[in-house]
């Protein structure tokens, strides 16, 4: 009885950790929307975000785990996983927001549990079940409802496609982040892949800089409000949320943790409404449908997510 109670408390704690991760993640979407509307280039913003994050997490990692942990890490694989999964993924997600809006992107991101589950089927040899198939189908319908609520369906459809591709990369990288670096702490796993992501962003940014894509774009020209939004976008929306996210995956697994992705659209809507945003009924309906679909996909007792 005591073990059962302890397990229940552990599950509640794990879910609270995942909730915190999504709340911080949501704040980043709202912050970057402000910066995008102010005319800042999405790639430049992501580059600055990564520089801020790496400057923050590396000293913290060394302080808590020591320099030996940093030097002994598998940096080659960490740069690859972080660069492809989180670096390219973050750019796709940001361009998805450029073509649509933060609510649409976060609702499409609700496919994360389905994609994560499918990866577990492919990579971990888990078995599909009918609940999973039904849930994914419902989630797809929800995504179509979100797109139908847009003023420009073609443009938003491109945004939704970019967001979906980002979800696939994030799912793969999240799993690899935990599975492929078992000797690192959660802080170390967060740091090594953030460096990899920063590496990819730096290459892309330098290319765009030398081709004249960043004209009249400098962090020194940002106002205090814009700098504050950038810090929220980087520290809270990426570094802190990633730390809590990996902590949640370690405790309850990628499949169950990823269910919390579905709450992001609600957090974003609440934040934007509190800042004077406009209510969109189809966005809300689409979020409910996506959430219902993903929950159904996890309900089977014979689920591959254990």
- Residue spans per domain, the chain: 25-297
Task: Give the residue with greater pLDDT, 170 vs 122.
Answer: 170
Highest mean pLDDT among 37-41, 76-80, 128-132, 163-167: 76-80
pLDDT tens sequence across 172-190: 998 898 889 999 998 999 8
Under the banding of pLDDT at 50, 70 and 90, the label for residue 305 is very low
Per-residue buried b or exposed e for 242-262, using 16+ beta carbons within 10 Å of the residue's own CB: bbbbbbbbbbbbbbbbbbbbb
């Amino acid at each position: 009885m005591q073990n059962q109670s302890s397990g229940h408390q552990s599950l509640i704690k794990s879910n609270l950790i995942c909730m915190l991760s999504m709340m911080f993640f949501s704040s980043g979407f709202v912050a970057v929307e402000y910066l995008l509307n102010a005319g800042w280039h999405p790639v430049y913003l992501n580059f600055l975000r990564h520089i801020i994050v790496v400057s923050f997490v590396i000293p913290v990692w060394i302080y808590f785990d020591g320099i030996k942990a940093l030097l002994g890490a598998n940096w080659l694989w960490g740069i690859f996983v972080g660069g492809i999964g989180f670096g390219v993924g973050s750019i796709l997600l940001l361009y998805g927001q450029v073509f649509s809006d933060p609510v649409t992107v976060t609702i499409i991101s609700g496919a994360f549990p389905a994609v994560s589950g499918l990866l577990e089927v492919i990579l971990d040899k888990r078995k599909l079940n009918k609940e999973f198939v039904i849930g994914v189908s419902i989630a797809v319908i929800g995504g179509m409802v979100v797109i139908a609520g847009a003023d420009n369906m073609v443009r938003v459809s491109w945004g939704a496609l970019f967001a979906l591709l980002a979800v696939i990369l994030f799912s793969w990288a999240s799993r690899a982040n935990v599975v492929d670096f078992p000797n690192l702490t959660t802080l170390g796993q967060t740091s090594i892949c953030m460096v990899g992501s920063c590496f990819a962003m730096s290459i892309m940014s330098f290319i765009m800089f030398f081709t004249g894509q960043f004209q009249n774009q400098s962090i020194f020209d940002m106002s205090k409000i814009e700098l504050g939004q950038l810090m929220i976008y980087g520290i809270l929306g990426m570094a802190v949320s990633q730390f809590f996210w990996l902590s949640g995956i370690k405790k309850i697994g990628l499949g169950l943790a990823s269910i919390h992705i579905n709450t992001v659209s609600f957090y974003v809507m609440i934040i934007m409404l509190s800042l004077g945003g406009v209510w969109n009924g189809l966005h809300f309906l689409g979020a409910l449908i996506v959430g219902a679909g993903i929950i159904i996909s996890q309900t089977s007792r014979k689920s591959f997510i254990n």
